[in-house]
Amino acid sequence: MSQILSPDEITRKYGRMFCRGVYTLVDEENGKAMIIEECSAKGPVEWDAANRRRAGGAITDVRVEGTTLIMDTIIGEREVRFGPASKNVGGQGLRSLKVEGDLVRTTWVGLAGASVGIGACMPQGPGTIEAVYPDDAKVGGAHRIEVSVVTPKMVRVIYAVDDTDTKEKGASWVLMLKLANSAPLGHYLEHKIVQLNPEVPEKTTNCVAVGVSFAVEPRDLDALTDYVINFVRENTVSENTTIAMYQGLIVPEVARAYGLRAKEEIMKVEDAVKVAEASGIRLIEVTGKRGTIGAVAGIGCFDMGLAAAALPGDLDP
């Protein structure tokens, strides 16, 4: 037998914990997902990351950004293996992630003190719909627990722009940061400033493209896109503004290669259009076509970390 508890019921049972949000993003075409867990402190995040990396299971990569834990996973099931360390330190891991219509069900296993994170903390966090426990569930101590956490199915969408300013007025990075913070739909994830070739003759000052990403439920994607288009249209001061939009967890290699080229070469609109067509990137002409060049590069470089903000050679030792 099992019991199904809401986040409020879990909070009443175990007390208020530290999770500030849980978001499950899926990319069904590539069989991959990403779980983002936001916490109120860095210590629990680092400890959970170490435990979940050790356990393996459905998690393929774990990283910590501030007080946020980001887990790349498969869509499917793999056995969790705590190993000999579990006898002394416990453990926690993700056994499976399954898409069920508009929902995602993740099943977690925890041992001893490590079971608190997946048994009491995460399931009460914002973004959780419900959690399913065995009737005799106990967390902490020497106990083992298995819990399934149900969250809305979400997707990642990236919007990148170029040519929203002039030499006299505007700044694309400011426009997109204001957009991200004001969006009424989705959960704002990241803002990226992508340095492009500073030798481009049409540049304003820094020659950058700017992108923002969101986690959003598929039913809200069109409305969010409409908001982004209208916001950019109302706030751009350039006659050459274009938006590039990409949905998915893996930026195609052809777009990544183009983004790196745009840091060193002077590209043409036709080059960007071909890459967009080959990569599944949607182009939205707002006031003109020239921004297509940087907007596509903004998508291509979005997941490159510091390399997105750098020029070739900047990060060499």
Give the pLDDT confidence of 237-276 residue by residue, as tens digits: 999 999 999 999 999 999 999 999 999 999 999 999 999 9
pLDDT band at 100 (very low <50, low <70, confident <90, very high): very high
What is the pLDDT, as a whole number, of residue 83?
64
Question: Which ranges in the chain are annotated with CATH 3.30.70.2200?
Answer: 163-309
Comparing CA positions, the residue from 220, 67, 207, 224 lying closest to residue 158 is: 224
As a whole number, mean pLDDT of residues 198-222 equals: 87
CATH code for 163-309?
3.30.70.2200
What is the pLDDT, as a whole number, of residue 81?
86
- Is the pLDDT assigned to residue 212 strictly greater than 70? yes
pLDDT band at 148 (very low <50, low <70, confident <90, very high): very high
- Is the pLDDT assigned to residue 8 strictly greater than 90? yes
Cβ proximity of 235 and 283 under 8 Å: no
Token duo for residue 43: 């210590």
- Is the pLDDT assigned to residue 221 strictly greater than 60? yes
As a whole number, mean pLDDT of residues 35-60 equals: 93
- Is the pLDDT assigned to residue 70 strictly greater than 70? yes
Model confidence pLDDT, tens digit, residues 153-207: 999 999 999 988 766 677 899 999 999 999 999 999 999 999 999 887 675 666 8
CB burial of 44-68 (b: ≥16 within 10 Å; e: otherwise) equals bbebbbebbebbbbbbeebeeeebb
Q: How many CB atoms lie within 10 A of CB 12?
A: 12
- Spatial distance between the Cα atoms of 251 and 308, rounded to a whole number of angstroms: 13
As a whole number, mean pLDDT of residues 72-77 equals: 98
pLDDT band at 90 (very low <50, low <70, confident <90, very high): low
As a whole number, mean pLDDT of residues 222-232 equals: 98
pLDDT band at 119 (very low <50, low <70, confident <90, very high): confident
- Spatial distance between the Cα atoms of 62 and 71, rounded to a whole number of angstroms: 5
- Is the pLDDT assigned to residue 88 strictly greater than 80? no
